Structure 1
């Protein structure tokens, strides 16, 4: 049985402008009974604002980052957080429709923890969150 306090320790920051993907993430979390707080930013600029605000995200967090967004895309966001000493240790998973080798290699050069391609939204997000649940149960995450 899952205890609520196990899941409130890790906040998920979803950086994605697609409302359908956001709803799919919410649905997957409900189906898997994950109680983690979910915070959404629609682009990199909003995500930076959330991360630098002292009261928005508490404790360890994971970032699920899309590549193609308005104002500041995923790569621009990665460059900004990796150059900021207070954010450089953020754990980031790319969650994107791009399956190109070029994008995957560029993401890993920015030290992402994983690169996941959105293929089948219905089952794909459940698989992703099953993997993430195992990840945050085992891995010691940096505190905010």
Structure 2
């Protein structure tokens, strides 16, 4: 049994969303997976669902990118989800540093999402990290 009950995945790439959902279900089929194709859609999803345990967020997306989402999330939902994890193909240390400035951003993973990433999130949520 994991500490993760629900996750919101935010990515504009349908195949990345599929890989995330597949990896999450393989990790624990009991986890509810919500998805959004950009930051604005994620804001809309957050307004309609119960608080997710974690948000897995891409950086580079149209409409509202990951950093724009973090700004709005900080204003409107701070503390809403215990853990936000960036999942990106960006190898730029500046992107990593910018993301980790937010106290609710706890991890920065490189695509694709892996079981080990979910194990890290689970340990954080269960207070073991």
On whether the aligned pair clears a TM of 0.5, the verdict is yes
Band of TM-score, shorter chain: 0.7 to 0.9
Unpaired segments of 5 or more residues in structure 2?
none
Q: Does 1:113 align with 2:114?
A: no
Q: Does 1:70 align with 2:74?
A: no
Unpaired segments of 5 or more residues in structure 1?
140-144
| Aligned-partner Cα distance in 2 for 1:52–1:126 | 28
Q: Which residue of 2 aligns with 1:88?
A: 78
Q: Which residue of 2 aligns with 1:30?
A: 25
From the superposition, tell whether residues 59 and 68 of structure 1 become closer, same or farther in structure 2 (CA, over 3 Å).
closer
Q: Is the 8 A contact 2:8 2:52 kept in 1?
A: no
- When normalised by structure 1's length, the TM-score is 0.77
Is the radius of gyration larger for structure 1 or structure 2?
1
From the superposition, tell whether residues 33 and 108 of structure 1 become closer, same or farther in structure 2 (CA, over 3 Å).
closer
Output aligned runs, 1:19-58, within 5 Å. Answer: 19-53=14-48, 56=49, 58=50
- When normalised by structure 2's length, the TM-score is 0.85
RMSD, aligned α-carbons: 1.9
